[in-house]
């Protein structure tokens, strides 16, 4: 019998399902501190938690531990890296809380629109301030949803009854997939400029931290409302503080840097703030508990690993090639345009990499979407792409080409109904260093994709490279390395510049216009 600890107020369905299975003994105790409970049960095989902290100390206290399950989506309270070192699998239950959070978004919108919180307090004081609490209707308003994952899609669905116009920003989702849920994809700044309400549903990481900033706040309509039930760090609070009163913006918040008692940094700018109640429904608790038990049973009985969030690189695959796949896809994405809607991905894995072609779909998807966790398995990656309306295929490699252990990624996007755009990038690893060997028709490039890169393709003619260099110099941007070959026809050239700092979009566009670039982009690795 395998012992499972549940040191939290989780619905009893988890305990019931596990015990009914016959292979588990369950200790559920929300009163005893988790460390003390672990000391009492050092033979525990699995632990199911909600927001409890699972750190190195706790993992070390459970030498028989093999599985930790977070009954919910976020797992930042679990030391996943240390767990992997100790050969402990960590799982989460994504989607179990999605409806609860989506309903909370709508509840916050309605409560704010009709001043329900302040009106309740006023009425309880015996006042009768109907004029003061003149509200507005959510019906017919334009709602912008940033991130159309499980929660974002449900927000759109729940608001359909209010006849709202739904705008959405999602760098991976296709226009067709968005249209199926009644949403129109637009650039992020346009979404903020056109929306009466903006609801955030993106993860917090190094790429999204502070992404909701002054530029976006400045674009918002006067009196518009921002709802954050995602993660606190995605909003630049100081930028919001600086512009909120001037534009009469409303800010409804449920997320904080730390879930704990005490003053909150948004206390002065939040019009409504609640203590991270997104997943706090009986139904969400039941769903997360049920999913936790079912996933543990499937993991042990069937070897189902879809929800492990700290998965290792498969045995036999050098991690450098997973990083290479991610890097190639990142570059291809930058070249095809971050706002273009992908329709198809084709990949070729040569040499010893061929057996890992299926698994390497994971870093491909991770490069395209911050929402997808790199520790997920290939099945989840393919399902994610399918949900985004993107077809994925692995081509049979031609072993006669002599590419060795190399990878080619082709991205295809629909420019319009009659035109398809394609970007193809190939790379390899030489002496432990990643190298991009081909971009489209430009072969034998062999440049290292590190630091800040600016890239231009253009019709070949004398003097173009000096024009680019001169423009960069005027902006105080130093060129550290450059590749400038022709394609096989000799008609086109590519300038790949490794530069000292990121190239601002305005500078990039100015240079591209000056040299009449066919394609241009900037990307940082």
- CA 201 – CA 155 distance, rounded (Å): 10
477: DSSP letter: P
Catalytic residue among 125, 206, 261, 396: 261
The neighbour count for residue 320, using CB atoms within 10 Å, is 15
DSSP symbols for 157-203: HHHGGGTPEEEEE-SS--HHHHHHTTEEE--HHHHHHH-SEEEE---
Tokens 């599985």 correspond to 67
| Distance between start and end Cα atoms, the chain | 48
Residue 296's nearest CA partner among 59, 66, 29 is: 66
b or e along 29-67 (b: 16 or more beta carbons within 10 Å of the residue's beta carbon)? eeeeebeebbeebeebbbbbbbebebeeebbebbeebbb
- CA 105 – CA 35 distance, rounded (Å): 35
Catalytic residue among 41, 231, 250, 311: 231
Is 276 assigned a catalytic role?
A: yes
- CA 131 – CA 129 distance, rounded (Å): 6
- CA 391 – CA 409 distance, rounded (Å): 13
- CA 279 – CA 102 distance, rounded (Å): 10
Residue 284's nearest CA partner among 150, 377, 162, 178 is: 150
Catalytic residue among 84, 115, 241, 276: 276
Residues 6+ apart with CB under 8 A from 105: 155, 158, 199, 227, 229
- CA 525 – CA 522 distance, rounded (Å): 10
The neighbour count for residue 327, using CB atoms within 10 Å, is 23
**CB–CB of 64/87 below 8 Å?**
no
- CA 451 – CA 481 distance, rounded (Å): 11
User: Tokens standing for 463?
Assistant: 């003097």
**CB–CB of 268/237 below 8 Å?**
no
Q: Active-site positions?
A: 231, 261, 276
């Amino acid at each position: 019998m395998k012992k499972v600890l549940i040191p939290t107020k989780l619905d009893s369905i988890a305990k019931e399902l596990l015990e009914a299975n016959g292979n588990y003994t369950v200790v559920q105790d929300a009163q005893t501190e988790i460390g003390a409970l672990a000391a009492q049960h050092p033979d525990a095989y699995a632990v199911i938690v909600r927001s409890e902290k699972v750190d190195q100390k706790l993992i070390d206290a459970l030498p028989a531990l093999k599985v930790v399950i977070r009954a919910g989506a976020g797992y930042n309270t679990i030391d996943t890296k240390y767990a992997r070192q100790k050969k402990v699998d960590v799982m989460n239950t994504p989607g179990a809380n999605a409806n609860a959070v989506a309903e909370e978004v709508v509840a916050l919108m309605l409560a704010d629109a009709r001043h329900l919180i302040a009106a309740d307090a006023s009425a309880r004081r015996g006042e009768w301030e109907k004029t003061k609490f003149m509200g507005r209707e959510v019906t017919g308003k334009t709602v912008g949803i940033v991130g159309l994952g499980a929660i974002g899609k449900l927000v759109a669905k729940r608001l359909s009854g209010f006849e709202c116009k739904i705008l959405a920003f999602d760098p991976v989702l296709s226009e067709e997939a968005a249209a199926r849920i009644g949403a129109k994809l637009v650039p992020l700044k346009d979404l903020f400029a056109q929306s009466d309400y903006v609801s955030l549903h993106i993860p917090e990481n190094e790429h999204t931290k502070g992404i909701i900033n002054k530029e976006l706040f400045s674009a918002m309509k006067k009196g518009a409302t921002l709802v954050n039930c995602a993660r606190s760090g995605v909003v630049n609070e100081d930028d919001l503080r600086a512009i909120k009163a001037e534009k009469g913006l409303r800010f409804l918040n449920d997320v904080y840097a730390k879930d704990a008692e005490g003053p909150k940094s948004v206390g002065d700018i939040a019009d409504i703030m609640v203590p991270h109640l997104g997943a706090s429904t009986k139904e969400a608790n039941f769903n997360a508990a049920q999913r936790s038990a079912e996933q543990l049973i499937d993991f042990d009985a069937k070897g189902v690993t879809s929800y492990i969030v700290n998965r290792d690189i498969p045995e036999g695959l050098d991690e450098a090639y997973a990083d290479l796949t991610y890097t190639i896809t990142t570059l291809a994405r930058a070249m095809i345009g971050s706002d273009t809607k992908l329709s198809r991905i084709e990949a070729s894995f040569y040499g010893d990499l061929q057996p890992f072609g299926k698994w390497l779909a994971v870093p491909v998807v991770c490069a395209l979407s911050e929402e997808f966790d790199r520790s997920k398995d290939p099945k989840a990656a393919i399902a994610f792409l399918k949900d985004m309306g993107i077809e994925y295929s692995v081509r049979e490699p031609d072993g006669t080409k002599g590419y060795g252990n190399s990878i080619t990624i082709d991205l295809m996007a629909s420019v319009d109904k009659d035109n398809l755009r394609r970007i193809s990038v190939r790379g390899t690893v030489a002496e432990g260093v990643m190298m991009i060997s081909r971009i489209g028709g430009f072969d034998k490039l062999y440049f290292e994709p590190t630091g800040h890169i600016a890239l231009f393709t253009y019709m070949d003619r004398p003097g173009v490279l000096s024009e680019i260099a001169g423009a960069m110099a005027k902006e105080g941007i130093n060129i550290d390395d450059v590749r400038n070959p022709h394609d096989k026809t000799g008609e086109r050239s590519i300038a790949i510049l490794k530069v000292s700092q990121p190239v601002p979009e305005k500078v990039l566009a100015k240079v591209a216009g000056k040299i009449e670039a066919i394609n241009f982009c900037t990307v940082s690795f």
